[in-house]
Amino acid sequence: MLCFGLALVAVVPVLLPGHPLLRALSVLLGLAPITAALTAVCRRQQLLAGDLRRSQAAFRTLAKSSVDPVVILDEQLRVTFASPALAGVLGREPGEMLGLPLEPVIHPDDRAGLFGANLQRRENGEFAVRTARVRAADGQWRLMQATVRDLRNDPDVGALVLHCRDVTSRGRGVDPELLELSLADPVTGLPNRTALSRRLAAVQRTVAASPVALVLLSIDGVAGATSRPGTEETVLRVLTSRLSRELRGEDWLARGKDGDFVVLVDGTVSDAEVVATRLVSTLGYIATPAGPLTATAGVTGLAADIDPGEALRRADLALSSACSAGVGSVHRYDDALRNAQDRRSTLAVDLAGALERGELRLAFQPVVDVVLHRTVSVEALLRWRHPELGDVSPQEFVPLAEESPLITELGRWVLREACSTVARTTDDELSVAVNVSARQVRSGQLVSDVVAALESSALPASRLIVEITESMLLDEHVAADLETLRGLGVRIAVDDFGTGWSSLAYLVGMPVDLLKMDQHFLAHVETDPQRRALCRAILQLGTTLNLPVIVEGVATPAVLALLRDMGHRFVQGYAFSRPLEAEQLAAGVWRTVPYVASAPPGVPA
């Protein structure tokens, strides 16, 4: 190297300026610092990459060895990493969660508190604690507490890191404050209906020494006020604050069903009426985009021999009475009973002449075959429009009719009217189902009434379905009449199957063609595994006995999809259509019913 340097020094002086060799040497000497810098940068990057790999390996090792689950979410709240501990808590393998959004496994009541303003960006590394119910693989809800570290602004992470802990009650050692979080309404922070039931049970044990009353407050106008995005939480929080200011020190405010508010008043029923009146009055001062809010209230006293469910039922009855009286009314349970009795007497008297006055009519609820996508039959439903009281619910007037011989006359009229209405349609396959009462069946005139209705309408017997309750199958004479009807071609359906007598031993071999599953089986079917198991069991029973099963009361697309996945084929309910008037049936509206469920939001069903 030294020799090369001496030679270079010896040569350079003889090179004239501008010589090509001199220019090449100048370029070479200029690149040397740049090359040295690039070499240093590459070495530095290799060291950083190694550190990053070791850091990631260490993180994953720590996460995998953690007893509590660690979950990482991206900007769209999708799972990008889940530790193996998740399998022990939720029964879900980490690989199953990767790439999936977190929201679907969170309880609907907890989503607003978890995915709303609570997840707005925070300073890098800031911690927040959130508690929510998470659905496990077996369908059960687990109460999970997550310490959330917001690293979305960190360029090296860009994610939310959740350190989770299962705080579901397992007996001793559970933090009561954590469990209380699952009993709070996510929007207002008030105790929810579950917490209310617990509080009522606790108060029931002490009410003999210290009187307590219950106020059920229904508020109108909230839906209109919260129609714009982002206003619901604001209105409900303002509403909660206003109501809280009107309560006394020992009064207790909670959320009830369907958005109602419930107050436990420390005092007598009279004290509760004063509090309820004050609450109803103060709502008129809350301004919303849709105008002032209005309310009505029902009041009842609590007693040691009244369980929480009965107390809420009494308050609900009082509230219904107040709603019937008009906006701003406050009724106590005693008043509601008296008003209900007066209404019952009025309806019983007026029902006797309703048929002659033309106040009764039929509506028709479609039954849809979800496999063939068409309406296969309609159920005839009796409706009464009172000239003064308006539309009266069948739950009110049908029991009144069944208590008197009037039900036989009404049943005979329904048979004739239903057969003639369906016979006038242009479809030769549409069938009609008619409910018949126990009194009409046991009168011995059912066969003659059916034959007369078929002859007068010219409706083929195969297009008539007679619906009976399970208990009627016990009567040998009834079974004989049903056999006679089947011999004519009429089909027999067992209505509200599973809620009454339900003896499978007698069901086998009986003159039955269809089973109708009662809508009570659909309550909470989306979240309750036992309800889903019952729905599957009834379908399997029908399949085993070769009896088609019709599911009543299917009200939402979600329940419809769930039933379709189970294999249920015949359904009826608001998910497809509300009951059709006779004019709509004659006009062929029922032909498009199977497509109503897929109509865009806002299109009336």
Residue 38 belongs to some domain of the structure: no
Q: Does residue 329 share a domain with residue 371?
A: no
Q: Does residue 381 share a domain with residue 473?
A: yes
Residue 334 belongs to some domain of the structure: yes
Q: Does residue 332 share a domain with residue 368?
A: no
CATH number for the domain including 82? 3.30.450.20
pLDDT above 80 for 154: no
- Tens of pLDDT, residue by residue over 520-542, are 888 888 888 888 888 888 888 88
Residue 215 belongs to some domain of the structure: yes
Q: CA 312, 314, 318, 324 torsion: positive or negative?
A: positive
Average pLDDT over residues 96-107: 86
- Report for 174-183, 343-352, 453-462, 539-548: range of highest mean pLDDT: 453-462
pLDDT at 174: 44
pLDDT above 80 for 227: no
Residue 34 belongs to some domain of the structure: no
pLDDT at 224: 54
Residue 39 belongs to some domain of the structure: no
Residue 26 belongs to some domain of the structure: no
Q: Does residue 328 share a domain with residue 369?
A: no
Q: Does residue 120 share a domain with residue 229?
A: no
- Tens of pLDDT, residue by residue over 228-249, are 555 667 777 888 888 888 888 7
Q: Tell me the pLDDT band of 134, cut-offs 50, 70 and 90.
A: confident
Instruction: Determine what percent of the chain is predicted with pLDDT higher than 90.
Output: 26
Residues in the chain: 605
Average pLDDT over residues 384-413: 91
CATH number for the domain including 295? 3.30.70.270
Residue 350 belongs to some domain of the structure: no
Q: Does residue 533 share a domain with residue 474?
A: yes
Q: Tell me the pLDDT band of 597, cut-offs 50, 70 and 90.
A: very low
* Cα 465 from Cα 550, distance rounded (Å): 13
Average pLDDT over residues 247-252: 85
Give residues with Cβ within 8 angstroms of 101, minimum separation 6: 76, 77, 78, 79
pLDDT above 80 for 515: yes
Query: Where is average pLDDT lowest: 130-134, 224-228, 473-477, 505-509?
Result: 224-228
Average pLDDT over residues 50-69: 54
Q: Does residue 540 share a domain with residue 417?
A: yes
Average pLDDT over residues 128-156: 78
Q: Does residue 405 share a domain with residue 273?
A: no
- Report for 69-73, 187-191, 207-211, 580-584: range of highest mean pLDDT: 580-584
Domain count, the chain: 3
Q: Which of 181, 215, 250 is the last residue of a domain?
A: 181
* Cα 448 from Cα 450, distance rounded (Å): 5
CATH number for the domain including 568? 3.20.20.450
pLDDT at 433: 97
pLDDT at 3: 46
Query: Where is average pLDDT lowest: 206-220, 458-472, 579-593?
Result: 579-593
Q: Which of 121, 156, 181 is the last residue of a domain?
A: 181
Q: Tell me the pLDDT band of 83, cut-offs 50, 70 and 90.
A: confident
Average pLDDT over residues 546-568: 90
pLDDT above 60 for 37: no
pLDDT above 90 for 209: no
pLDDT above 90 for 46: no
Number of H helices, E strands in the chain: 21, 20
Query: Where is average pLDDT lowest: 3-7, 269-273, 318-322, 385-389?
Result: 3-7
Residue 220 belongs to some domain of the structure: yes
pLDDT above 80 for 562: yes
Q: Tell me the pLDDT band of 339, cut-offs 50, 70 and 90.
A: confident
Q: Does residue 150 share a domain with residue 285?
A: no
Give residues with Cβ within 8 angstroms of 65, minimum separation 6: none
Mean pLDDT of the chain: 79
Q: Which of 313, 343, 373 is the last residue of a domain?
A: 343
Element (H, E) at 497: strand 491-497
pLDDT at 64: 54
pLDDT at 377: 94
Q: Which structural domain range is residue 563 located in?
A: 363-597
Q: Does residue 295 share a domain with residue 173?
A: no
pLDDT above 80 for 66: no
* CB under 8 A, 24+ apart: contacts of 73-81: 73/102, 73/159, 73/160, 73/162, 74/158, 74/159, 75/152, 75/158, 75/159, 76/101, 77/101, 77/102, 77/103, 77/115, 77/119, 77/160, 78/102, 80/159
* CB under 8 A, 24+ apart: contacts of 231-238: 231/289, 232/187, 233/112, 233/116, 233/117, 233/187, 235/288, 236/187, 236/188, 237/187, 237/188, 238/286
Higher per-residue pLDDT: 379 or 601 = 379
Q: Does residue 424 share a domain with residue 387?
A: yes
Instruction: Determine what percent of the chain is predicted with pLDDT higher than 70.
Output: 75
Q: Does residue 464 share a domain with residue 578?
A: yes
pLDDT above 80 for 514: yes
Average pLDDT over residues 330-348: 83
Q: Tell me the pLDDT band of 552, cut-offs 50, 70 and 90.
A: very high
